[in-house]
């Protein structure tokens, strides 16, 4: 229910913050997929994915915050041609969305692999199938945003210059999204220790 309702609700959103909000419900469903396996591997996978989701969504919301600094809502259309107005911010959002989609070499790919593996080990094939279908639904609305970033001409030539703090935070988020996806061992060990402490 969390995966399906979250993705279907996100599918019809025009406001980017709402879209990512409903998307978060879907990602909570992916985490529940591992948690319901009722074992340390599942809990470890859930903690690992939660850490990854934090940095992926941080990357996205940093950009949304910069683009919509003076607005309550940030429409998908407001991202038009962002690669021309703020190339680094556009790349940050692109990588965050790639992670949320679950594309390699991001943490989203490895994290979903761990989640689905934990569920399959408990024989939850049909739940994993539902998750895979939902991931495909998510792919559509994330690609709508990416299309707006890189394939639609900007409505304004106004440049967006992030502050040094925002730029450094975005750079750190990018590094973590890629590091956790490329070298997950260290982060998996942290999640495993956390899971063992919670179970004991």
**What number is the average pLDDT over the span 27-36?**
92
Q: Tell me 70's DSSP state.
A: T
Q: Tell me 160's DSSP state.
A: -
pLDDT tens track for 57-91 = 999 999 999 988 877 789 999 999 999 999 999 99
pLDDT at residue 157 is higher than 90? no
pLDDT at residue 110 is higher than 80? yes
> d(Cα 9, Cα 31) in Å, to the nearest integer?
18
Question: What was the pLDDT predicted at 52?
Answer: 97
**What number is the average pLDDT over the span 168-197?**
96
CB 106, CB 177: distance < 8 Å: yes
The whole-model pTM stands at: 0.93
Residue with tokens 């024989």: 123
pLDDT at residue 119 is higher than 80? yes
Number of separate helices (H) and strands (E) present in the chain: 9, 0
Higher-pLDDT residue of 158, 27: 27
DSSP string, 12-51: T--BHHHHHHHHHHHHHHHHHHHHTT-SHHHHHHHHHHHH
Question: What was the pLDDT predicted at 71?
Answer: 78
């Amino acid at each position: 229910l969390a995966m399906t309702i979250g993705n279907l609700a996100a599918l019809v959103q025009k406001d980017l913050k709402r879209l990512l909000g409903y998307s978060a419900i879907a990602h909570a469903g992916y985490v529940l997929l591992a948690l319901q396996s009722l074992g340390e591997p599942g809990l470890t996978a859930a903690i690992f994915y939660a850490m990854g989701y934090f940095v992926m969504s941080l990357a996205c919301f940093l950009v949304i915050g910069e683009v919509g600094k003076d607005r309550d809502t940030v429409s998908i259309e407001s991202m038009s041609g962002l690669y021309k107005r703020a190339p680094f911010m556009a790349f940050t959002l692109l990588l965050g969305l790639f992670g949320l989609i679950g594309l390699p070499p991001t943490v989203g790919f490895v994290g979903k692999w761990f989640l689905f593996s934990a569920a399959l080990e408990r024989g939850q094939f049909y739940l994993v199938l539902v998750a895979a279908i939902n991931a495909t639904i998510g792919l559509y609305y994330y690609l709508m945003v990416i299309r707006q970033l890189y394939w639609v001409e900007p409505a304004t030539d106004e440049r967006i210059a992030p502050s040094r703090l925002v730029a450094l935070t975005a750079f750190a988020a990018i590094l973590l999204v890629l590091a956790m996806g490329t070298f997950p061992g260290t982060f998996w060990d942290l999640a495993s220790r956390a899971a063992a402490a919670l179970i004991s």
